[in-house]
Structure 1
């Protein structure tokens, strides 16, 4: 042991890299580029390969035929796979270890066989023969061992077969089971939640509580107070150990109240007779206004008064200080002091117009006239003082006298001339005054326009021409000239606005496009519609290049005018834009929508005629025109005939023609058109319309034949499968309906409505378990569908499994937290009434905009009789989505109970205008064949009557 080296003196193992195990860095390691020390040489590599080949019994071949060796073609053959690798010392050591293990295991097995052979040998004395037999067994012991293990494995598998092996025969026998046998299988019993309910019932056992516990709980939140004979009260202790003395609280309250009353009484005693702060000495409460006036402390007035007095004394020529001091006295209820102050201010600032006007306002009429005369003497050229003096007079003659004296001193005052003209009752006198005013003030646009309005049309033209020379940069004069031509009936003949644009462009005085639109809206508001159109026509495209987004810009201008109720301006904008973009579908749609909402029927017809002429291949315009002329069947037929020429074999036009004939009672013509459409335009929609047409007529057999033929052509159409099942339901053939829905969900597994119809059929048949199974399959096909989750929750709720329904709801909201349908179902049907408002607030935070949730909020407020807020929520829901028919129905039911007749009529008109198509209750009634020919108003009332 003494000769053995210590650890640090021993040589390092081969391929050892210092620091590699503890993550050291900063040097080259084997994990980066290879071992740090130099690798083996070529001689060492050749020797290692030769040694490895010799051990495996292989010979190195010099030719390249070994590339095609058979062992490399089989991926499972690993013999010689690493024969060409480097055979290192660690490989040799590993092989040696495995060889020793194999030898040891072989010797152990040999000993076991030897013992067994010795015990069972019939000739124990023949020992030489024994050793020979052992040697023979030892040579092929591995093959015997493998055979024995294989036999044991087969015997174990035969005695213990797997589950799938046990049922293999039964699975093969299921191929012979038919669909009818599947449908007639007995249903298992509903064991949903029974074990859980029983376990819950055992846990929810109640026991009697002692009276001492109840008494302690009752007294824990109370205060105890004992009143002694002398009137004092002793307070009881609180739960947290503190003590509340109610006697001291009451005494402090009385003391504070007494101090406030004394303070208010002292303030009222020092106030003047005209002061509004007074306290009733008898102790009655004063009015709210008096209390508000009493809140102003006298100390504050004194402080402000000192500050203003200092400002006046330091600069007595500053009029604003005098005015502020006088207004402070008015606020303090001292009008006399205020008049005295403002009078002193007028003495110190006689040339200030504001201080004289303040003095006039603070005095009565008689004194105010005297003060106005003094002000005029001090400032004879002040227009405001002259106007104020005129207002102090009572009769028109005196007013005219004052104004004319004012004009003697201020001949170029536009305001005085306007006041003088307004005082004149005779038109001729006003014209004379305006003529004089325009001579003295030729730059006044208002005076020129006023004079032109009072003159005859012929003289007005001369006046406007003269005004244009004086004011060449004024576009208002040109607009006035255009309006004058419109009044004379020549608005469309003379190009006044065209000349105006040219003239103003030369003068570099062309206003912006937005200003011209504002002027056009002003003309429309005053009734000059032709001038409005002329302004838009000549100025809308001014300064815009073809590279600009002119169409979008003009559409925004039109929408802005519509929002301000200036429909003639918007109509003129669309007309100009359509002259530039002749074939624009979006512009024609916007123009048609404008006429539909804010124009007459003739205007709408003209707009649609222009649309179909400009865009003959847009079938929507043809359909809208035919729909608008539906009351005139011959005209509508002509429109559709023209549409057929432009759009042959268009399914929309075919269906519109069918609807026209059917709505007017021409059944045979409609059936013939559908037959022709199925030949010329064989689409699934045409076939569906044919089936629906026969169902509406009550011929379910013909409808069934059509839907069978259609499904041969369109097996992937979900609506055809739905129609087939519904027809069988109408014929009371539930097995066939079940088969139709079952085949439909296999053909179109992503269609949610088919799954819902399938589930509801099973539930109506009394088979709740089958309905649940159908919905489970549906949720696997369409995982995140709020409709499917809601239907499953409703099935459980209707079956009485409320706990299961709540559990499903929690799972559904985890997957779809922003579904308004799920939140509405939970709030209205699964939770207690007291928790609805809190859940509603939580839902509104999580769900941004959902009409179903907004209607739920309105219904809750409706139930609480908060009608105004409920109506606001209904309005929000309609503003969010006007195509949701259920919202209109709930709102109509609300208005029917709590609204006026005018409100109901307005709501019905809006519903008819928007023509809603969606909604759970709305679609169920609107798509019923019995209601096929009913209008939107009738459908609205039917849906509202069904709501609960």
Structure 2
């Protein structure tokens, strides 16, 4: 019973609800039941049922028809409800909706806007799926969270996106640059255009044809011949047209239709044809002559008062009318107005008058400039600058008069007196002016110097005696007087100068130079020491750099004793003890670069006395003397009591570098016996492997083969693991005896030094020279096993097969070598020339990819361009090679050979000079010549010539 009544109640409720909705619509009658309503609403809106998601009716209790009971609490009725509690609108009554609304909504859904502006990437064209529901707080919170996430993700990708956009823009600009960018290089070149080139640019011509340019060529309708014949019969002789009256000559007969009636063709005949008497050519010529006379009168006067324009050829000199200031005429007018305003506002302001005069001078109005500046002298009679400007603008005698007037107003002006002397052409007149100036301004050093320069030595000495009395604080005058006096008088003059000027160092240095010039070198040191003490007592700070510069000046003036005394006095001032050595070496190099060799020599001598046990100082000193001095200079550094060379060895008894440097110095000066004694002492004091090697080499190059062999045997007893000794022994045996002894020496050396590449190569070449190709090949294979991945051994193997004529085997070996040593420059360089000529360029590209900065590869590319007769490119690659590796002698030799064939004498000399400065030590061809016993005394330049002579263009 309860169940049926609940269902009926639900039906009634639904019916009432549906009926209320229909009655409110006003268009449809009430529906009979809920079933019909649901069916109709479902047919009207198939996408979404109207009651889904809608609020419940007011007072609705779920399950009320099935016996459910509702209840109410105090929170539902008011006082017990908290104001902050959320409103429970889950059971709110549903909104009223009519069938018309549903039909209208369905029609809107069917006719949805498919425009692109209505498209959403997520929801499509239909809008949000959940837009009809209530927008609650949790939805708002969720949307805020998603928005924050989107913003965060966007910031993470922002940098990459901006970078990508920037790259895309740059790529777009590179593909399609602006017109401004396309012509930017041409715009920069406009700065190099001279004024003459700019003025010589022709004017832009009119591209239109003659009819378009000239209105005279408008389309006109010709007058018929009958018209002319008719009026000729009447006796009229005028044939002009009056364009205002529309009549033909003096005829009173108007054109057909008059001016208001258009003539056939749309134009009045002869309307634009001028009459023969309309222009007066005589008046035009007179006006032109008048204009040219005005221009000639403007430019006829110059600064010197002579005509600068030829009246007969004025057309060629019209450029003189062009202002040289480069400004615009309007700017000149503005400047004139501004300067005029300044002059009128403050007529006693000298710069205004000077600026006005210079403006007129620049624009070519010299006379106006002179008038302005003379007016300025009246308004500013006490201005030195105005008078000098007036004297500059006035010609010849007028300038002298201006200066004389200036002297009357400014009798103490030194500059005006100097200008007056400059205006005089006669020496006597100059002297007279300067002496008159000295009467008025006796304290001016400039006037005294100008006057003394014009006098003879004796008169100059007298004048300088007076000058130092008037100007006792002028160092220049004191020093000039000392130079003109005798030795005794000069000493007295310098003493007086020191009394008057106790703070100037130049007086002390001049005194030291004076003593040195007169042979009193023992006084030089005392004077410089006394100078340091006196200057410090007078509060003068001793500036080390300034004193070193003074010593360099003394060096250039050949005052060696003074130069060295100054260096010894100031070299240690203001330097910490731990920085002394480094600072002094830098000072010495700086002096050498400035050409002050004696200063550098003094610095090295002082450094050797302070640091007698520093090998680097001794080596630098020796290197300096080798390049700029002699052997005697080097041994002259230490005290003479120790004897030549003993000071060095006493301070460094166990220094290998010092011993060998001394031996090299003696050998280069052909002192072979002294070199032998030095080596004998070195072998007892510092018995190193290099000392023994130098001893063997000295005897070898001098031809003492037996002594060399004995020394080599003795050396190998102590240093049997030193491969160069075994190499030298084998080469000596190869030179003097049978091959067996040389082969034995190399084999013994390889037992002790199996990783010496040079020993393996020497033994292989020895067997090849003896004709034992198979044995040489076996030696190289064995060497590669003991020394894997060694490019030199692979290169020798390849060359061995190539020299034997087995080019296929050589190519195969080269392929294996490049697999084992893929980054070896010497192998890639050799591989380029193993290829046939058409494939060499491709091989060189592969070599550059593998070894881009390897000097051997660069040298191979240069040789490749040389073989193809591409001279410019070959020279560029040679320069690149020697710049990357200046120690590679083969590159210098090939470069020099190239210049001998294709370069000038200057280019050849430049390559040789650069090679000598670089002092190369390595290179296969270079070492073969430089280490040959016959070339042991040859210089770098000589070896360069020898190596270049042996190079053949077989590539």
TM-score, normalising length: structure 1: 0.63
Alignment-derived partner of residue 186 in structure 1: none
Task: State whether residues 299 and 321 of structure 2, in contact with CA within 8 Å, keep that contact through their aligned partners in structure 1.
Answer: no
1:621 matched residue in structure 2: 658
Matched, 1:273 2:299: yes
Deviations 1:388-411 (A, max 9, x none): 112222333222221121111112
| Aligned-pair CA distance for 1:725 | 0.6
> Hey, what does 2:102 align to over in structure 1?
none
Change in Cα spacing, 1:292 to 1:530, as seen in structure 2 (3 Å) is farther
Tell me the equivalent position of 1:594.
624
What does residue 691 of structure 2 align with?
Answer: 653
Whole-Å separation in 2 of the counterparts to 1:817 and 1:861: 17
Asked if 1:889 is matched to 2:919, the reply is: no
1:482 corresponds to which of 512, 517, 522? 512
Give the equivalent residue in structure 2 for 1:118: none
How do 1:160-239 residues align onto structure 2 when only pairs under 5 Å count? none
What is the CA distance between 1:291 and its match in structure 2?
8.3
Q: Secondary structure at the match of 1:397?
A: helix
C-alpha separation in 2, matches of 1:898 and 1:331: 54
Mapping for residues 629-778 of structure 1, pairs under 5 Å: 629-630=666-667, 631-648=670-687, 650-682=688-720, 683-697=722-736, 699-778=738-817
- Give the superposed CA RMSD: 3.9
1:728/1:736 contact within 8 Å kept: yes
In structure 2, distance between residues paired with 1:249 and 1:281: 37
User: 1:452 is matched with which residue?
Assistant: 482
Q: How does 1:333-344 map to 2 (within 5 A)?
A: 333-344=364-375
- 3-state DSSP class of the match of 1:381? coil
Tell me whether 1:373 sits opposite 2:404 in the alignment: yes
Specify the SS of the correspondent of 1:495: helix
Give the secondary structure class of the aligned counterpart of 1:883: coil
**Counterpart for residue 822 of structure 1:** 857
Following superposition, the deviation at residue 671 of structure 1 comes to 2.5
- Once residues 588 and 535 of structure 1 are traced to their aligned partners in structure 2, the CA distance between those partners, rounded to angstroms, is 22
State the Cα distance separating 1:530 from its structure 2 match.
1.0
Distance of 2:501 and 2:389 partners within structure 1: 38
Deviations 1:649-677 (A, max 9, x none): x2222222233223233233223222222
Does residue 922 of the first structure (1) align with residue 930 of the second (2)?
no
Confirm or deny: 8 A CA contact 1:327 1:338 kept in the other structure. Answer: yes
Count matched residues.
657
Q: 1:678 aligns to what SS in structure 2?
A: helix
Please name the residue that 2:7 is paired with. Answer: none
SS at structure 1 position matched to 2:378: helix
- Corresponding residue number in structure 1 for 2:597: 567
* Structure whose CA Rg is larger: 2
Deviation at 1:893, TM superposition (A): 3.5
Aligned pair 1:582/2:619, yes or no? no
Provide the residue aligned with 2:431 in structure 1: 400
**Contact kept in structure 1, 2:654 and 2:685, CA below 8 Å:** yes
Between stretches 577-586 and 704-713, larger displacement belongs to 577-586
- Matched ranges for 1:446-595 at <5 A: 446-493=476-523, 494-546=525-577, 548-595=578-625
Report the Cα distance in structure 2 between the residues aligned to 1:646 and 1:929, rounded to whole angstroms.
Answer: 27
CA distance in 2: counterparts of 1:484 and 1:348, whole angstroms = 55
Contact 2:865 2:874 in 1 (8 A): no
Give distance in 2, aligned partners of 1:657 and 1:512.
49
Check whether the contact 1:886–1:922 (CA below 8 A) recurs between aligned residues. yes
For residues 268 and 877 of structure 1, the distance between their equivalents in structure 2, rounded to whole angstroms, comes to: 70
1:7-35 deviation line (CA, Å, top 9, x unaligned):
xxxxxxxxxxxxxxxxxxxxxxxxxxxxx
Cross-structure match for 1:442: 472
1:939 aligns with 2:943: yes
The separation in 2 between residues aligned to 1:813 and 1:913, in whole angstroms, is: 28
Would the aligned equivalents of 1:759 and 1:771 in 2 still touch at CA under 8 Å? yes
Distance 2:936 2:569 in 1: 51
Q: How has the CA–CA distance of structure 1 residues 274 and 919 changed in structure 2, closer, same or farther, with 3 Å as cutoff?
A: farther
- Mapped to 2, the partners of 1:743 and 1:574 lie a distance apart of 53
Structure 2 CA distance for aligned equivalents of residues 512 and 251 of structure 1: 82
Q: Matches of 2:449 and 2:938 in 1, distance apart?
A: 64
Residues 1:379 and 1:558: Cα distance change in structure 2 (over 3 Å):
same
Deviations 1:709-753 (A, max 9, x none): 111111121111111111111112111110111111111124321
Kindly provide the CA deviation profile for residues 503-555 of structure 1, in whole angstroms up to 9, marking residues without a partner as x.
22222203211111111111112221111111110111113332x41211121
Give me the TM-score of the superposition, normalised by structure 2. Answer: 0.62
Where do 5+ consecutive residues of structure 2 fail to align? Answer: 1-204, 215-287, 303-307, 638-643
The equivalent residue for 2:352 is: 321
The alignment partner of 1:492 has SS state of helix
Q: Is the Cα–Cα contact under 8 Å of residues 696 and 708 in structure 2 kept in the other structure?
A: yes
Measured after TM superposition, the shift of residue 484 of structure 1 is: 1.7
How far, CA to CA, are the matches of 1:781 and 1:636 in structure 2? 47
- Once residues 294 and 317 of structure 1 are traced to their aligned partners in structure 2, the CA distance between those partners, rounded to angstroms, is 27
Say if 2:872 is the partner of 1:860: yes
Give the drift of 1:447.
Answer: 1.6
- Kindly state the Cα deviation for residue 770 of structure 1 after the two structures are TM-superposed: 3.3
Query: Post-superposition shift, 1:706?
Result: 0.8
Q: CA deviation at 1:578?
A: 2.1
Alignment of 1:783-802 (within 5 A): 783-795=822-834, 797-798=835-836, 802=839
- The 8 Å contact of residues 695 and 929 in structure 1, kept in 2 or not, is answered as no
